């Protein structure tokens, strides 16, 4: 008797209580995870910087000034507040180039993750859901991609089709889909065998419906975590490509390209290569912190 009323009360109170506490729980958890907070703040700052880049940047990133070549940052002798982080070999403002470069880095990072995620999701679902020979083919394809370093793959393709913003995004997407495909496939395999999916199939639910109703909701949280962390990976890959000369091309600017330019002036002007590298490191650090926090929140089982 007593126990019964207690259960009823619980049932009654729970849904409402849960909604409320869920939101506050997320914030509490975020606050508690200091790195998560730091990550979120960094990522928000970079996004704001990229969105309002043209407004914030003191100069145009292509604006050269021959009389102000290789000026040091403001705190050094010869530096001035006109060029807070100094200028490069063509007299372009380093700070402005970093601000405008954030657009490319972020765009490439996010867009290529979307491309890779779409390919990986599709191939992973097909492979895990239909199995048999198609699974074999896709898995050998995965093995092949794992046997060739991403960066090499990208270099070859870009050498063939020529580097441009679009081609870089596509190439990054086409070479990094493997991680999503593997995750989606293994999740699909395990969900497919569960009783409720089997019974749904027995009563004639279509593949499309089963995938939409049972499989997708189960992969979504792992997917978000991997995608977030992969934005960091693709930002680094993009900068590596630009550094190797097959990424973003002048007059566009990305952090990797700036690094590559600055490398030739290391002996005299350290700031040209140092600040874009710092920008990459801080951004990637922020994304990793945010991704790790998301993993703790959404997907405790993939904790490595």
Partner 1 sequence: MRYFLSSILKVIPVLLMISFIVFFLVRLTGDPVSLMLPETATDQQREDLRQSLGLNDPIYIQYFTYMADVIQGDFGESFRYNQPAIDIVLERLPASFTLAISSMIIATIIAVPAGIYSAIKRNTFADLIITGSSVLGKAMPNFWLGIMLILILAVQFSIFPVSGSGTIAHLVLPSITLGTAIAAEMTRLIRSSMLEVLGSEYIRTARSKGLRETIVVNKHALRNALIPVVTIMALQTATLIGGTLITETVFSWPGMGQLLVQAVNARDMAVVQAATFIIAILVILSNLTADLTYRFLDPRIKYED
| Interface ranges with partner 1 (CB under 8 A) | 140-141, 143-144, 146-152, 155-157, 159-161, 232, 236, 239-240, 243-246, 256, 259, 262-263, 266-267, 270, 273-274, 277, 280-282, 284-285, 288-289, 304
Closest CA to 151 of 250, 282, 242: 242
Alpha-carbon dihedral 289, 292, 296, 297, rounded to 10 degrees:
70
Query: Hey, what are 256's tokens?
Result: 């990797």
Q: How far is the CB of 124 from partner 1 (least distance, A)?
A: 18
What is the Cα Rg of the chain in Å? 24
Q: How far is the CB of 26 from partner 1 (least distance, A)?
A: 23
- If the CB atoms of residues 56 and 244 are measured against partner 1, the closer one turns out to be 244
- If the CB atoms of residues 51 and 146 are measured against partner 1, the closer one turns out to be 146
Closest CA to 193 of 129, 127, 124: 129
- If the CB atoms of residues 181 and 210 are measured against partner 1, the closer one turns out to be 181
- If the CB atoms of residues 7 and 159 are measured against partner 1, the closer one turns out to be 159
**Three-class SS of 191-248:** HHCCHHHHHHHHCCCCHHHHHHHHHHHHHHHHHHHHHHHHHHHHHHHHHHHHHCCCCC
How many residues in total does the chain contain?
A: 304
Q: Is the Cα torsion angle 275, 277, 280, 285 positive or negative in sign?
A: negative
d(Cα 143, Cα 137) in Å, to the nearest integer? 10
Q: How far is the CB of 279 from partner 1 (least distance, A)?
A: 10
Q: How far is the CB of 240 from partner 1 (least distance, A)?
A: 6
- If the CB atoms of residues 79 and 277 are measured against partner 1, the closer one turns out to be 277
The structure tokens 């890959």 sit at 237
- If the CB atoms of residues 94 and 211 are measured against partner 1, the closer one turns out to be 94
Q: How far is the CB of 136 from partner 1 (least distance, A)?
A: 8
Q: How far is the CB of 114 from partner 1 (least distance, A)?
A: 22
């Amino acid at each position: 008797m007593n126990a019964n009323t207690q259960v009823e009360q619980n049932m009654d109170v729970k849904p409402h209580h849960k909604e409320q506490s869920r939101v506050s729980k997320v914030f509490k958890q975020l606050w508690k995870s200091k790195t998560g907070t730091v990550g979120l703040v960094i990522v928000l700052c970079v996004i704001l910087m990229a969105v309002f880049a043209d407004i914030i940047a003191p100069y145009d990133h292509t604006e050269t000034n021959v009389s102000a070549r290789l000026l040091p940052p403001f705190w050094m002798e010869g530096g001035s507040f006109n060029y807070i982080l100094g200028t490069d070999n063509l007299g372009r403002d380093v700070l402005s180039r970093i601000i405008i470069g954030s657009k490319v880095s972020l765009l490439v990072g996010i867009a290529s993750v979307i491309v890779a995620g779409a390919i990986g999701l599709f191939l992973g679902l097909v492979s895990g859901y239909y199995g048999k020979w198609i699974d074999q083919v896709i898995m050998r394809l995965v093995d092949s991609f794992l046997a060739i370093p991403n960066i090499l793959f990208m270099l070859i393709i870009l050498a063939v089709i020529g580097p441009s913003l679009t081609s870089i995004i596509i190439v990054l997407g086409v070479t990094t889909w493997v991680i999503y495909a593997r995750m989606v496939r293994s999740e699909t395999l395990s969900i497919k065998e569960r009783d409720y999916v089997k019974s749904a199939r027995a009563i004639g639910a279509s593949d499309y419906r089963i995938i939409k109703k049972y499989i997708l909701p189960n992969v979504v949280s792992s997917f978000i975590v991997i995608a977030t962390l992969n934005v960091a990976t693709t930002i680094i890959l993009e900068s590596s490509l630009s550094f190797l000369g097959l990424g973003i091309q002048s007059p566009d600017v990305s952090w990797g390209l700036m690094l590559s330019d600055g490398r030739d002036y290391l002996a005299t002007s350290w700031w040209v290569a140092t600040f874009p590298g710092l920008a990459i490191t801080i951004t990637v650090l922020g994304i990793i912190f945010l991704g790790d926090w998301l993993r703790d929140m959404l997907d405790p089982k993939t904790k490595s």
